[in-house]
Amino acid sequence: MVGLLSSIAYCERRSDDHKTQEESKMEYWDIEARGLTKAFGSFTAAHNLNLRVPRGTIFGFLGPNGSGKSTTLKMLTGLLTPTEGEALIAGEPVAVENVALKHKIGVLPEDDALFRALTIWEHLEMSGPLYGLGHEEALAMALLHNPRVLFLDEPFEGIDPGSSRNVKDLLLMLSQKGVTIFLTSHILEVVERLVGQYAIIIDGEIVCQQTVEETVKAGRTLEDVYFQFAGRPAMEEMGWLG
């Protein structure tokens, strides 16, 4: 962890003291986490997370399995109550009981929370007044009520290239219309071409936040930055493949 923390300086974005004039005029961010923390007994799944996502941004939230991505997404959408800190959507505090706010949110969970006995159309009829259920077909339900903020957990997992392209085109169109999109994915090449900003979470802590433009200006790729913090298996460990 010391090595990770020593590298954070590379990823630090400008401080609040150096906000642009446009940012200073913003009344709120569409997604904001303030000191967001979640502990399960003695295990802390997310620690002191601070995020701000402007309206209409496609934001990538990256990290290895078990790093705290899904826990964070659940706290941001009101599915899980934080131990400390708070989350805000469109300037409103998120709470499990805040049903009105959830009408502004669309959620595509990683586990495709669909009822297998129902048809797609039956799901659509049932989920009209709700705020999201489940990948490709479930994305329609997450969008059915025209949410202002869309949370997608691994939206490109398990779909073919044609469907993946359609999803990317759809997300870009929604972003242009002002929908804010927060997504997780392990497919870094797709994320790099799609998102405007991203953060990397390791062991429950955000170790890097920046824009893709900043990454490119530094002469790096998203993959370079990701593996700087997340690491990867040494080639020697894959010797059995030869």
pLDDT digits (tens, 9 = 90+) for 21-35: 444 444 568 999 999
Task: Provide the 8-state DSSP code for 21.
Answer: H
- Cβ count near 222 (within 10 Å): 21
**Does any domain span residue 95?**
yes
Residue type, 64: P
Cα-based angle 54, 60, 65 (whole degrees, multiple of 5) = 140
Q: Which residue has the higher pLDDT, 68 or 159?
A: 68
Is pLDDT at 125 greater than 80 in this prediction?
no
**Does any domain span residue 22?**
no
Q: Say which residues have a Cβ less than 8 Å from residue 63's Cβ, sequence separation at least 6.
A: 69, 184, 200, 201, 202, 230
**Does any domain span residue 180?**
yes
Q: Are 98 and 78 in contact (CB under 8 A)?
A: yes
**Does any domain span residue 135?**
yes
**Does any domain span residue 15?**
no
Residue type, 93: P
Give the residue from 78, 133, 71 showing the smallest Cα distance to 106.
Answer: 133
- Cβ count near 143 (within 10 Å): 16
pLDDT confidence of residue 139: 74
Minimum mean pLDDT among 33-47, 84-98, 133-147: which range?
Answer: 133-147
- Compute the distance between CA of residue 140 and CA of residue 191 in angstroms, rounded to an integer: 21
pLDDT confidence of residue 94: 92
Q: CATH no. for residue 105?
A: 3.40.50.300
Is pLDDT at 213 greater than 80 in this prediction?
yes
Instruction: Kindly report, residue by residue over 76-117, the tens digit of the pLDDT.
Output: 998 899 999 999 999 999 987 787 887 889 888 765 444 344
**Does any domain span residue 140?**
yes
Q: What is the pLDDT averaged over residues 25-47? A: 88
> Residue 123 corresponds to which tokens in the numbers above?
């799901």
pLDDT confidence of residue 6: 40
Q: How many independent structural domains does the chain possess? A: 1
Instruction: Kindly report, residue by residue over 164-186, the tens digit of the pLDDT.
Output: 888 899 999 999 999 999 999 99
The SS3 of residue 13 is coil
pTM value is 0.78
Strands (E), 74-179: 84-89, 92-93, 105-108, 149-153
pLDDT confidence of residue 136: 58
- Compute the distance between CA of residue 46 and CA of residue 68 in angstroms, rounded to an integer: 6
Q: What is the pLDDT averaged over residues 113-122? A: 45
**Does any domain span residue 16?**
no
Q: Which domain holds residue 160?
A: 29-228
Task: Provide the 8-state DSSP code for 1.
Answer: -
Q: Which residue has the higher pLDDT, 107 or 63?
A: 63
**Does any domain span residue 234?**
no
Q: What is the pLDDT averaged over residues 60-84? A: 93
Is pLDDT at 236 greater than 80 in this prediction?
no
